[in-house]
A and B are shown apart, each in its own frame.
Chain A
Amino acid sequence: MESINKELKVSALENGTVLDHIPAENVYKALDILGLKGICNQITIGINLHSKQYGKKGIIKIADRFFEDDELNKLALIAPQATVNIIRNFQVVEKKKLVLPHEISGIARCMNPKCITNHQPVRTKFTVMEENGEPVLLCHYCEKRSDIKSLF
């Protein structure tokens, strides 16, 4: 077994992606948004880890998996401060910040109970707007706004 270093609470990754600084309560949502439930890659999840910046944070390490920016940017909806580390051969070869996407499709539900997307098999689509620093979703179909917290 690997010896556990006191500072490093999660085992190191040889190749893959580390998503850090996810709000602790949103780790499961992050797995959903990135479609990581049910995949075969080795995934290490940390929740309520101590963070100097945010108090408590979550971290997700996915072995042998690299994402397109479009995929990752969806995460900005629930974890705007998250950082992405690309690991190759135990080294961080790239660090990325997330950018809020302009449009998202298929990952959120519309809050409007009378929206067509809640009654028929229609893939949801939203324009992402920012208001007072918070992302707000404008439904492409019913034109109503959904606020991000109640979406997932």
Chain B
Amino acid sequence: MNKSLISIQDFSKDEILHVLETAKEFERNRVQNILEGKVIACIFFEPSTRTRLSFETAVNRLGAKVIGFSDATNTSVSKGETLKDTIKMVSNYVDMIIMRHPLEGSSRYASEVSSVPVVNAGDGANQHPSQTLLDLYTIMQTQGRLDNLKINMVGDLKYGRTTHSLLQAMSHFSPEFVFTAPEELKMPVEYKDFLDRRGIRYAETTSLEEHLDDCDILYMTRVQQERFTDPMEYEKVKDVYRLKASMLDGVKRNMKILHPLPRVNEIDQDVDDTPYAYYFKQAENGLYVRMAIISCLLGYR
């Protein structure tokens, strides 16, 4: 599997399952020096804590070394260097490039000019496939399976790339969806068309309470201020949903709450202590899944 990971749709169902199986192995044993002697570039043109730190930890735990930057202001990019030139240069130094960039499609382009595999760690509002794989891993871990689950996505379904990619990835596993969003942030029609073409059922609601009790996974998302061009639009919807422990009395026993983090107000702190909260474990899983992605793409698993 020596290739890049740019969009979750680049991976077949079998490749997805292979990465998830590999991640299981890394969760059992997180210190494996299988990439000793390799150098991997983590180049982040846009701020990130979780994603960057978990990727860098994954590289270190695999025994490889990390180079890179977490802010493009101190690099040649600020002198006007094109992305092409940066990638051409970096790809001559390293064995793999992990990159985040604010422009959409930047990772795909980088993978076309790079001589080594590129992992997309987020390209604007477009794709963030390692997040999707860790979401799948977490869903499988909590439910014991991926097939025939009912997933309730809540929050910003218009701009939220995690929900779009998760929807595409889950479509391999005959799911049923609920989309809980305010009118302004509804799931875009192209994703609903995608589900229609595959015969996958979904319901839409504006009420958080409506489908709390009949879903297996409650996938909460933050309304991301940075995706809005109009501040008024953001103010209207920023606190639209707030999940509290008291709302969880009637939920299914196996139900788990996921959130790509960071959260703001959409999940109350008192939910953290319920047996349904799983978002911190989900973030931890990011490490194992990223170890799996790196070693699979480099052909070591």
Contacts and interface: CB of A to CB of B under 8 A. Distances in A.
Whether A and B are associated in the same complex: the answer reads yes
Interface of A: 110, 112, 114-117, 119-122, 139-145
Nearest to A145: B190
Contacts of A120: 82-84, 103, 109
Contacts of B108: 116, 140-141
Contacts of B132: none
A49 B220 CA distance: 58
A142 B104 contact: yes
Contacts, number: 52
Contact of A116 (B7, B106, B125, B190): B106
Given A115-B104, A119-B103, A141 B7 contact: no
B103 A115 contact: yes
B104 A116 contact: yes
A117 B103 CA distance: 9
B105 interface: yes
Nearest to B193: A131
Contact of B109 (A116, A143, A144): A116
A140 B123 CA distance: 13
B124 interface: yes
A152 to B, nearest CB: 20
Contacts of A110: 105
Interface in B83-120: 83-84, 101-106, 108-109
Contact of A141 (B109, B125, B190): B109
Contacts of B54: none
Contacts of B124: 114, 142
Closest 3 CB pairs of A and B: A141-B105, A142-B104, A142-B105
A117 B82 contact: no
B104 A112 contact: yes
Contacts of A112: 104
